[in-house]
Amino acid sequence: MLKFNKIFKHLSNTTSSFWTSSFSKLPSTIYRPQSYAALNNIYQPKQFFSSFDEDFDDEFINLIIVNRNKEEIPIQARVGDSVLHVIQKSNIFLEGACDSSIACCTCHVILDDKVFESVPAPNVSEEDVLDIAIGLTKTSRLGCQIRVTKDFEGCKISIPEFHRDFWAGNAAA
């Protein structure tokens, strides 16, 4: 707190009592989190929301997600939701750092051949972003750009073992 006060005292030529009294009223997690866990309690990522909320059906299908450890995890998915959000809602790690804006490849998934043929072709932006994905295959897609349909019933969607870490800019396991 002293270093904080010295900086602002120098910049604004005010007494430190102004800054001390102003910031002492704030909870400590706002300006001085004890850990990253404290930040997670403040900011919850978009895992409970979908960019396709308005198109939800009340119909669910069964999917199998193959995680990075090659474990097959059966889940239920709502028809109309994006693959990214279905996986995140199932508490399986898939980053999706750009909020479905096709600006990163952190939601890269590998589809079954049958499902890959049934989804619309990727647009140019998605193809450009997929070029930087690690472990690219002929059935690779961005999970944020694919809606779950009834054709997905019983299919396997794989998460590549490695991914490009959005924040560090490198490959991570």
The topology under which CATH files domain 46-165 is Ubiquitin-like (UB roll) (3.10.20)
Confidence of residue 80 (pLDDT cuts 50, 70, 90): very high
Sign, Cα dihedral of 94, 97, 101, 103: negative
What's the rounded mean pLDDT across residues 118-140? 92
**Model confidence pLDDT, tens digit, residues 1-52:** 555 555 555 555 544 455 444 445 544 444 444 444 444 444 444 444 444 4
Q: Which residue has the higher pLDDT, 112 or 164?
A: 112
Domain range list for the chain: 2-42, 46-165
Per DSSP, helices labelled H in 27-103 are 28-31, 36-42, 83-89
**Crossing angle between the packed helical segments 2-12 and 16-23, to the nearest 10 degrees:** 130
**Model confidence pLDDT, tens digit, residues 154-163:** 999 999 988 7
Strand-strand pairing, 156-158 and 163-165: unpaired
Token couple for 168: 């560090």
